[in-house]
Amino acid sequence: MSVQTISTTPFEDQNPGTSGLRKTVPVFRQPHYLENFVQSIFDSVTGYQGKTLVLGGDGRFFNSVAIQVILKMAAANGFGKVMVGQYGILSTPAASCLIRKYGTFGGIILSASHNPGGLSGDFGIKYNIGNGGPAPEKVTNAIYARSREIREFKISDAPDVDLGKTGSVRMENMTIEVIDPVTDYAELMQSIFDFDAIRSLFAGGFRFRFDAMHAVCGPYARTIIEKMLGAPEGTVVNAVPLEDFGGHHPDPNPVNAKELMDYMNGPDGADMGAATDGDGDRNMIVGRHIAVTPSDSLAILAANATLIPGYSGGIAGIARSMPTSTAADRVAVALQVSCYETPTGWKFFGDLLDDNKITLCGEESYGTSSNHIREKDGIWAILFWLNLLAVTGKSVNEIVHDHWKSYGRNYYSRHDYVNIDSRQAAALMDHLRSQLDGLAGKRFGRYMIEKADEFSYTDPVDGSVSGRQGIRIFFTDGSRIVFRLSGTGTVGATLRVYFDRYEKDRIDQDLSAALGELIGIAGEVADIARFTGLKKPTLIT
């Protein structure tokens, strides 16, 4: 067993996006592609000699190969220990939990999250820092810069490690501790929620369906929901993680989780349904004939937080990503706490959480979480809802409608134009940019534009600035259209258009009727059909 130094040449495209480096599996399988990026991570941080790294992934194709490579590189680069999930499995929130609980130096999570997997699917790698959260931009920029100069990497020639057995083994001067991926995370959940109340809910015949979408949450949900909370066996469906997620998109929204939606809207639908994504950080909450929008979910959790043991003392503040609806803002006003608006991506919440400016945060893309970790957390959000239902005795539908009655309703939708030509996508954004100065005062039917700008964020804790985070058009009635390009895709570009319209009293309108006019305005101002070549969006959520 010895450390090898291997010479290599840089790849030009290892720029981490919204959430780590995401590429197709064939790209990742090029010789040295993974090794270059991992060495670039290690070269961009200092002080890890002898320290501990957390390592795991969502079990998608290439996960088990990549884990072995990273173990050998961590050993060769001088880490003292790696805590790795059994079979190489760790959900993103569980990895964050471990980093924080054991005070490790950082962690590497292998996942392309909600992107499809398999031989020709996507793979990804994220680096998390010692607070348990995604590396901030200053770190990811340094990793990218390093990846363009890298000339060599270090790797041990040790044989592969058996990750099927928990326990410790040695590699070079490093300990590899293979741990159960669920235990620590389950303990954390138990410390936040009223497990007795949820147990009584299930004992009383409450019917729940958890769709793990053949992704990483299956084992977590089986242990927590079925074993610890006593929900009947079979409550968790699609519970076995598969390398290709059964050929599906492991993305918990009403379109990709169609099986769950059909069941919930059918004659035998459960009282509540939920789904999680590839790496377990996203969640969707569904009631009978209602899918809760993620923006509403954040607002509802914030408004009811003191009913949950872990937040009984109240919350310090709320943050939402910019395109997320303003529903949470109204709750913040009522609770007299601050509401922060950040760019898309969880890494922007880290400083606010560390500085105790906020307790809860969320994104419109089915992500919600709190200061208990530094990632979004699918199972946490689902347990929060179960806890709320247990202590209020209300249905999902009643909770949502009661919230709208108190605060008004944000009609909200996101339109995605997927895999469009990258140059055309950039041209569309430039086309919008060029109009920004002249949009205020323009009238479209009953809507008048109040102002338009390009979102730039200054982190209130470290002062770092992130520009070009989306183009916003504000209307005089408080409605908003936002345009931005996705930072998680692997082919071409994806345009996201977000619609948000607030109504204080008229809370029972049909969603498409409520947003129809705004959708027309977006098409006109951005000339969407011309630039994308598409007459309608690829995906509406």
Measure Cα distances from 392 to 15, 153, 194, 404 in Å. 46, 56, 13, 17
Nearest residue (CB) to Co ion, 100 versus 282: 282
Build a one-symbol-per-residue string for 346-385: x at contacts with ligand VG1 by CB under 6 A, - elsewhere: x----------------x-x-x------------------
Build a one-symbol-per-residue string for 448-487: x at contacts with ligand VG1 by CB under 6 A, - elsewhere: --------------------------------------xx
Stretch 291-330 residues interacting with ligand VG1 (CB under 6 A)? 321
Pairing status of strand 360-363 against strand 317-321: parallel
Residue 281 is a binding residue for Co ion (CB under 5 A): yes
Stretch 273-292 residues interacting with ligand VG1 (CB under 6 A)? 277, 281-282
For ligand VG1, how many residues bind (rule: CB under 6 A)?
18
Q: Which of 113, 156, 283, 490 binds Co ion (CB under 5 A)?
A: 113
The rounded distance, in Å, linking the Cα atoms of 88 and 302 is 34
Catalytic residue, chosen from 113, 147, 156, 295, is 113
> What single-letter amino acid sits at 286?
V
Residue 253 is a binding residue for ligand VG1 (CB under 6 A): no
19 makes contact, choosing from Co ion, ligand VG1, none, with CB < 5 to 8 Å by partner type, with ligand VG1
Residue 114 is a binding residue for ligand VG1 (CB under 6 A): yes
Please, are residues 439 and 452 in contact by the beta-carbon 8 Å criterion? yes
Q: Which stretch binds Co ion (CB under 5 A): 29-37, 197-205, 271-279, 477-485?
A: 271-279
Nearest to 229 by CA among 345, 382, 106: 382
Least Å from the CB of residue 114 to ligand VG1: 5
Least Å from the CB of residue 147 to ligand VG1: 20
Please, are residues 302 and 312 in contact by the beta-carbon 8 Å criterion? no
Tokens representing 187 are 């303990």
DSSP of 407-438: H-EEEEEEEEEEEE-HHHHHHHHHHHHHHHHH
The rounded distance, in Å, linking the Cα atoms of 38 and 70 is 7
Q: Which stretch binds Co ion (CB under 5 A): 281-289, 337-345, 501-509, 514-522?
A: 281-289
Residue 496 is a binding residue for ligand VG1 (CB under 6 A): yes
Measure Cα distances from 133 to 56, 168, 356, 427 in Å. 15, 26, 15, 33
For Co ion, how many residues bind (rule: CB under 5 A)?
5
Least Å from the CB of residue 367 to ligand VG1: 6
Residue 345 is a binding residue for ligand VG1 (CB under 6 A): yes
Residue 277 is a binding residue for Co ion (CB under 5 A): yes
Q: What is the largest CA-CA distance in the chain?
A: 73
CA angle 141–468–480, rounded 5-degree value:
140
Residue 403 is a binding residue for ligand VG1 (CB under 6 A): no
Nearest residue (CB) to ligand VG1, 110 versus 229: 110
The rounded distance, in Å, linking the Cα atoms of 230 and 223 is 10
Nearest residue to Co ion by CB is 113
DSSP of 70-134: HHHHHHHHT-SEEEEEEEEE--HHHHHHHHHHTT-SEEEEE--TTS--STTSEEEEEEE-TTSSB
> HEC states along 206-236?
CCEEEECCCCCHHHHHHHHHHHHCCCCCCCE
Least Å from the CB of residue 136 to ligand VG1: 14
Active site residue 113: yes
57 makes contact, choosing from Co ion, ligand VG1, none, with CB < 5 to 8 Å by partner type, with none
What is the enclosing helix (H) or strand (E) of 480? strand 480-485
Residue 19 is a binding residue for ligand VG1 (CB under 6 A): yes
Measure Cα distances from 480 to 115, 234, 242 in Å. 28, 42, 39
Residue 415 is a binding residue for ligand VG1 (CB under 6 A): no
> What single-letter amino acid sits at 382?
I
Residue 253 is a binding residue for Co ion (CB under 5 A): no
Least Å from the CB of residue 291 to ligand VG1: 17
Residue 416 is a binding residue for Co ion (CB under 5 A): no
Least Å from the CB of residue 513 to Co ion: 32
The rounded distance, in Å, linking the Cα atoms of 136 and 360 is 19
Residue 500 is a binding residue for ligand VG1 (CB under 6 A): no
321 makes contact, choosing from ligand VG1, Co ion, none, with CB < 5 to 8 Å by partner type, with ligand VG1
Nearest to 32 by CA among 147, 130, 129, 133: 147
Stretch 282-301 residues interacting with Co ion (CB under 5 A)? 282
| Residues with Cβ within 8 Å of residue 46, at least 6 apart in sequence | none
Nearest residue to ligand VG1 by CB is 113
Contact residues for ligand VG1 (CB under 6 A)?
Answer: 18-19, 113-114, 277, 281-282, 321, 344-346, 363, 365, 367, 486-488, 496
Contact residues for Co ion (CB under 5 A)?
Answer: 113, 277, 279, 281-282
Which residues are known to be catalytic? 113
